[in-house]
Chains A and B, each alone.
Chain A
Amino acid sequence: MISGAWLCLFAPLAGTLLILLAGNRIPRVAAGWISTASVFVAFAGAIWSFFGLRAQSDRSGYLSTAWTWLQSGSFKVGLTVLVDPLSTMMMLVVAGVGGLIVLYSIGYMDGDDEERRYFAYMSLFVFSMLMLVEGGNLLLLLVGWGLVGLSSYLLIGFWHERPSAVAAAKKAFVMNAIGDATMALSFFVIIAHSSSLEFGTSFDLAGSLSPTAINLVALGLLGGAVAKSAQIPLQTWLPDAMEGPTPVSALIHAATMVTAGVYLIARTHTIFEHARTVELAAAGLGALTLVVAGLIALVQTDIKRVIAYSTMSQIGYMFLGVGVGAYANGMFHLMTHAFFKALLFLAAGVLIHALGGEQDIRRMRGIGALMPLTRWAFLAGALALVGIPPFSGFFSKDSIIAAALHDHWYGALLAIAGLVGAFLTGLYTFRLYFLVFPGEPSAFVREHLHLHHGKEGPPTMLLPVGILALLAVFGGFLQFSPVWHPLTNWLDPVARTLTAAEPTNRQEAISSVIAVALGLGGIGLAWALYGRGERAVPHVAALQRILEHKFYFDEAYDALFYKPAAQLATWLRRDFEEPVVLATGTDLGEGALELGEGVRRLQTGLLRTYVLFLGTGLAIVGVIFLAIR
């Protein structure tokens, strides 16, 4: 069990190192297979840990330390892995979905010049994410946190000749760094009080801290979660991150990295429970994000951006779930979302690949006729996303809305937001479906579509899509709370759902019915507006402008943060660095030259001068001797 965890953690790292060391000596495709194999070995390790843990009677968590990584006085941090229900669940999701996506990448990235670098980065990412979820103490979690940010930067900016990709990578990294900073601050508070970053001591400490301290710690953690999971107010980087290759968007920005914030809240829930206000604020941010993102998705014309805003919205649901205390439900939605969101991205990737890189949905009309497999897979993912039974999204999403409903008036507000979101989800998802798939193929499609030997794509791409489609359809049967909830039981030792977040059967039923109805309503409206091949974007002028500008978040941040910083930098350069710092360097040089010039004049070349020096020296020595006497 423990060995499984170690294997899971280090297999992808070994893959990265192998690809790096082999370099140009291996063919490009080999790098892909090495990476895929390493991630599947990690998956095997995850399964091993899972079954090992399942066989134990006490499932509260097992720590295994390899060596002491850091020691400073009484502060000690070891290289520790944690095997407990939450971490094994994440390991399975990350390694499983990750393995499928890396396999898909072999087909998608075929022919790219820098394939090896891509696969090295992918393995690095999987390693980082596993470190994040398996880390046995807060410091290793932070290490994983930072490394996934790095991998995200490297992969978003993978096609580095594109200025837009480079800018997007920078934006993602900077916004993530804000979250890293707040998390580090909260860790400082913890260390100040307990000199340790172990999970156990930190969580025990939560009860004894003053309200200010615990709120600060929780806020810091929330800041990190918000940045990593692209919730308001730190959400602007996620749409831009679509500059990276599609499998990257699937893996990092849908299935795994952006869900790290949800995992963090679930893991440190003890701290959040002592700072209940912050926890509820998290739920509020999630609710806000899910509505806002849903609205923005209505006007997007790039297929990947629609799915990206959908991701943002669904993570809002997850935040909502863990924010009210329904940790198991939030994690369940994380899992099903990984399945159907990855499916949607990969299916979109098949389309993009077949069309030679085109991503504008207005040109893709009617492609479903020529690519039926992709069409059905996408439909399955879309239905799962909207939450139509019996697809997986239904089981996970509705339980979150029901859980929120249970919690006073605030919870009711959150639940309403969730229901609005369900309507919007149906609307934007099926807007996308109806615009792209049904109908006669457009001229553009007929011209640019090129199939892979008569098939829609190479087997390495179609196989993962198929597997994910099956998971998206049937994965929801894992849990149907409150009737059948093995997942809640599984996570119970580690992340017990708060009683405030346990809905009654009646609440569950009512919310499910309303949510499904709204979802179907959204689908219907989408069919009405877009099913007959009308224009892609609705015509409500003022609203449309606001939505197209994504609620002006980018413009606001530009004015608030970027412009003053740039101004300050210019001022400093002009008025401080050039006159003072650089001039000091120049002045020192010139001063030395002048000194040299002066000394040079002493060298007259005349014998008389040197005799003068002799005489002067004699006089000085005489004075010294007279003085000393």
Chain B
Amino acid sequence: MIVASAGNVLVWIVWVGAGFACLASAAAVVSFSNPFYSALALIGNLGSLAVLYLLLSAEFVAAAQVLVYAGAVMVMFLFVIAYVGPRMETPWAGGPSWQSVGAVLAAASIFLEIIVAVSLKAGGRLAHSDHVNATFGTPGWIGRLFLTDHLLAFEITSIVLLIAAVGGVVLGSHARRAA
């Protein structure tokens, strides 16, 4: 399964680096007590994910990831964190003791189950990926798909965004003059 050749080596190195960064930053998000640091770690996670997307021939998605997620969403997070102020909180405290233990167990078991499921198939159908042409993942290709095969998804997404925007404004506004 591991096929290493000259061109491959670069891909492998990039993959290992990005993968490691992804995993580490995910762990960091969950572990920091300062929310600001968690948000920064998430930015790092999103960035490494974008690299992984590039490796998977999804250029447009990578770009959108950086622009939308890391750019807009994370900025929003940081603004709110700044507004709310510093709130330090120790991760494992609070709640009954079995909550923490149960949480670790549940998360670990879900992780392991996915691994098991995947590895059961790994030798079979997952072994050989299809060969894709050069237009795979390009913006034009994506755009064509959005406007032909997946038009419904496109339109509904726009409505969802609209509703979210309205909701955000309502929630954030000083609706009642009194109080």
Contacts and interface: CB of A to CB of B under 8 A. Distances in A.
Contact of A612 (B99, B113, B117): B99
B106 interface: yes
B110 A612 contact: no
Interface residues of A, number: 14
Nearest to A615: B106
Given A622-B113, A623-B113, A626-B116, A616 B102 contact: yes
Contacts of A606: 95, 99
Contacts of B110: 615, 618-619, 622
Secondary structure call for the A interface: helix
A161 B133 CA distance: 111
A607 to B, nearest CB: 10
Given A616-B102, A626-B117, A609 B109 contact: no
B112 to A, nearest CB: 9
B96 A601 contact: yes
Contact of B109 (A601, A619, A629): A619
A623 B110 CA distance: 9
Interface in B100-143: 102-103, 105-107, 109-110, 113-114, 116-117, 120
A363 B93 CA distance: 97
Nearest to A612: B102
Contacts of B113: 619, 622-623, 626
A210 interface: no
A609 B96 CA distance: 9
B99 A608 contact: yes
Residue with the greatest number of chain B CB neighbours at <10 A, chosen from A604, A606, A616, A618: A616
Nearest to B102: A612
Contacts of A626: 113, 116-117, 120
Nearest to A614: B106
B30 to A, nearest CB: 14
Contacts of A612: 99, 102-103, 106
Interface string B126-169: 00000000000000000000000000000000000000000000
A612 B110 CA distance: 12
Contacts of B114: 622
Given A615-B107, A626-B117, A604 B99 contact: yes
Given A623-B113, A626-B117, A609 B95 contact: yes
B111 to A, nearest CB: 9
Contacts of A604: 95-96, 99
Interface string A593-616: 000000001001010110010011
Given A626-B113, A626-B116, A626-B117, A619 B106 contact: yes
A514 to B, nearest CB: 102
Contacts of A616: 102, 105-106
A536 to B, nearest CB: 89
A606 B99 CA distance: 10
Contact of A608 (B95, B116, B117, B120): B95
Contacts of A609: 95-96, 99
Interface string A538-580: 0000000000000000000000000000000000000000000
B113 to A, nearest CB: 4
Contacts of A619: 106, 109-110, 113
A76 to B, nearest CB: 70
Contacts of B117: 622, 626
Nearest to A604: B96
Contacts of A601: 96
Interface in B72-117: 95-96, 99, 102-103, 105-107, 109-110, 113-114, 116-117
B115 to A, nearest CB: 11
- Most B-side CB within 10 Å, residue of A601, A622, A629: A622
A615 B107 CA distance: 7
A612 B100 CA distance: 9
Nearest to B113: A622
Contacts of B120: 626, 629
Nearest to B107: A615
Contacts of B96: 601, 604, 609
Nearest to A601: B96
Interface string B39-53: 000000000000000
A629 to B, nearest CB: 8
Given A604-B96, A608-B103, A619-B106, 8 more contacts: A604-B99, A608-B99, A612-B103, A618-B110, A619-B110, A622-B113, A623-B109, A623-B113
20 contacts: A604-B95, A604-B96, A604-B99, A606-B95, A609-B95, A609-B99, A612-B102, A612-B106, A615-B106, A616-B105, A616-B106, A618-B110, A619-B109, A619-B110, A619-B113, A622-B110, A623-B109, A626-B113, A626-B116, A629-B120
Q: Which 10 A-B pairs have the closest CB atoms?
A: A615-B106, A619-B109, A622-B113, A616-B106, A612-B102, A619-B110, A619-B106, A606-B95, A612-B103, A604-B96
Interface of B: 95-96, 99, 102-103, 105-107, 109-110, 113-114, 116-117, 120
